[in-house]
């Protein structure tokens, strides 16, 4: 779920636990299954690591007072997947966006809030395309979500009073793209 950000930073030093996660994800992605099935399998690999104190280095959980921050943790050499940590200070939020690939998110620390949308094309309810909010979700520490386009429009924010950190895995090369966002939506929403 990650948003337009400054260009992704180069991968930094990694913990042994993160290396183990990357190896597990490599095996899951290497099966070459459908995107939604791949996302499900990757979510299973991610879940046991969430909250572990030895998953991330202190530098990989540093925030930015100006905006939520992306730390690129791994980009697979063949471009088949990437792992990033997103660090949110209280109140920081994404735009409404969708994604270039399958995506798995897991809350490592704190709590994230998410609003999901459906896009109604122009002519359905008015002259302009419109976003309809379909679901509000609270993702507590340890929760995992996986999805694949289409139908993956959402906005995410930190609604808790402390720093939140989440792991995001994408079926794309974030070291090259800089972001997983396919499109930012600046459209009327129903609420
Ligand atoms: Fe997203």
Task: For 147-157, write each residue's pLDDT tens digit.
Answer: 888 888 999 99
CA of 114 to the centre of ligand 1 (A): 9
* pLDDT number for residue 41: 97
* pLDDT number for residue 57: 96
Are 144 and 168 in contact, with CB atoms under 8 Å apart?
Answer: no
* pLDDT number for residue 100: 85
CA of 166 to the centre of ligand 1 (A): 11
* pLDDT number for residue 4: 43
CA of 182 to the centre of ligand 1 (A): 10
Nearest Cα neighbor of 106 from 168, 41, 54, 37 is 168
What value does the mean pLDDT of the chain take? 89
Tell me the C-alpha distance between 57 and 42, whole Å. 22
CA of 90 to the centre of ligand 1 (A): 18
Could you tell me the pLDDT band of residue 130, with boundaries at 50, 70 and 90? confident
CA of 101 to the centre of ligand 1 (A): 10
CA of 95 to the centre of ligand 1 (A): 9
Could you tell me the pLDDT band of residue 180, with boundaries at 50, 70 and 90? confident
pTM of the model: 0.87
Strands (E) in the chain, as ranges, are 69-75, 82-88, 97-99, 103-109, 112-120, 130-139, 144-147, 153-157, 164-170, 181-184
Could you tell me the pLDDT band of residue 183, with boundaries at 50, 70 and 90? confident
């Amino acid at each position: 779920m990650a948003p337009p950000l400054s260009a992704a930073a180069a991968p930094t030093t990694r913990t042994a636990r993160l290396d183990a996660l990357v190896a597990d994800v490599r095996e899951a992605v290497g099966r070459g299954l459908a995107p939604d099935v791949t996302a499900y399998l990757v979510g299973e690999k991610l879940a046991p690591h969430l909250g572990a104190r030895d998953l991330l280095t202190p530098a990989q959980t540093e925030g930015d007072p100006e905006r939520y921050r992306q730390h690129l943790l791994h980009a697979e050499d063949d471009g088949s997947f990437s792992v990033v940590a997103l660090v949110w200070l209280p109140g920081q939020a994404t735009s409404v966006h969708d994604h270039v690939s399958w995506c798995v998110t897991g809350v490592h620390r704190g709590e994230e809030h998410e609003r999901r949308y459906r896009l109604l094309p122009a002519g359905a309810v008015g002259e302009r395309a419109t976003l309809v909010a379909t679901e509000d979700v609270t993702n507590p520490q340890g929760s995992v979500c996986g999805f694949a386009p289409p139908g993956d429009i959402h906005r995410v924010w930190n609604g808790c009073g402390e720093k939140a950190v989440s792991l995001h895995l994408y079926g794309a090369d974030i070291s090259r793209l800089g972001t997983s966002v396919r499109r930012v939506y600046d459209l009327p929403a129903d609420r």
